[in-house]
Amino acid sequence: MIRSDLIRGHLDSIILRLIFEQDRYGYEISKEISLRTDNRFQIKEATLYAVFQRLEKKELIESYMGSVSQGGKRKYYRITTLGKAYLREMIEEWKETKEVIDLFMEGLQ
Amino acid sequence: MIRSDLIRGHLDSIILRLIFEQDRYGYEISKEISLRTDNRFQIKEATLYAVFQRLEKKELIESYMGSVSQGGKRKYYRITTLGKAYLREMIEEWKETKEVIDLFMEGLQ
DNA sequence: GAAATTACTCTATCTGTCAAAGTAATTTTC
DNA sequence: GAAAATTACTTTGACAGATAGAGTAATTTC
């Protein structure tokens, strides 16, 4: 299980990416992250909904109530045009961040 | 300039790595990070000294006063055996973290 | 109809980062 | 040789993001 401090700062991008692929609701995203990472990372509920609030406030995503089918009411999120641009930027930043951290993490032992 | 949120959680490793190479003092580490990253990342002084405190408390590094030669008094840090083991672990965690984040950052556009 | 699952929300707390301000020694400049 | 610049470290208080914990509510399973 990866410590959340190592993922911190990338959470917005991860969630934005999943919403970019298709409209999604919170619980689904939570399960999807666990699935794709093979449980190497799990987002905590409280964190997830804090991210939604942040992204919606910045107008990177929008929400709408979905149909109730298998449990509680679902709140779906879709990415905005601004959100798509932001995601592309974040991916570039990630590449640079990787390079920089690798400077200090490689060439050992 | 990389946002500190993206580096957050890796600072301990970066500083530990530099002290692993050789004993170093704070100001030197600060300059070395700017140099190696080509100013793509700069650590803030307050942050640096907070990291030292954290690492020393965990007994991953030890300190000793050095000679005064070109300015104020220098406090040098050396890595402990525990620190070396920790660093190796952190490097493995970094590899895994990269893989996990890449899952969400690749295959776009 | 009780228990489990799906699904979202809110509050309080913790941790890491950092701005700001301060102390002090040495070196450079004029 | 006094002032300014640089080297070097420390402390305090504030802020943002992550999360434990508790709660609400609908649907599904047994």
Which CATH number covers residue A83? 1.10.10.10
- Distance, Å, B17 CA → C25 C1': 29
The range of the structural domain enclosing residue A51 comes to 4-105
Assess B6–A contact: CB distance below 8 Å, yes or no: yes
B67 to chain A, closest Cα gap in Å? 27
Q: B109 pLDDT band (50/70/90 cuts)?
A: low
Across all residues in chain A, what is the average pLDDT? 92
Compute CA B36 distance to the chain's CA centroid, rounded to the nearest angstrom. Answer: 12
Residue A105 pLDDT class (50, 70, 90 cuts):
very high
Of B3, B37, B105, the CB nearest to A103: B37
**pLDDT at residue A12 tops 90:** yes
* pLDDT tens sequence across B63-98: 999 876 677 789 999 999 999 999 999 999 999 999
Q: CA distances (Å), A73 to each of A48, A66, A69, A92, B98, in order? A: 17, 7, 8, 36, 35
Give the C-alpha distances (Å, rounded to integers) separating B75 from A92, B28, B46, B78, B102.
38, 10, 15, 10, 39
Q: What percent of chain A has pLDDT over 90?
A: 81
Number of domains in chain A: 1
C-alpha neighbours within 13 Å on the C-beta side of residue A7 = 27
pLDDT of residue B68: 67
pLDDT tens for A52-96 read: 999 999 999 999 998 766 767 889 999 999 999 999 999 999 999
Q: For tokens 């804090």, name the residue.
A: A50
CA B85 to chain centre: 15
Of A2, A32, A28, nearest in space to B98 by CA: A2
Q: Do A36 and B97 touch (CB under 8 A)?
A: no
What confidence score (pLDDT) does residue B76 get?
95
Rounded Cα distance, B55 and B62, in Å: 9
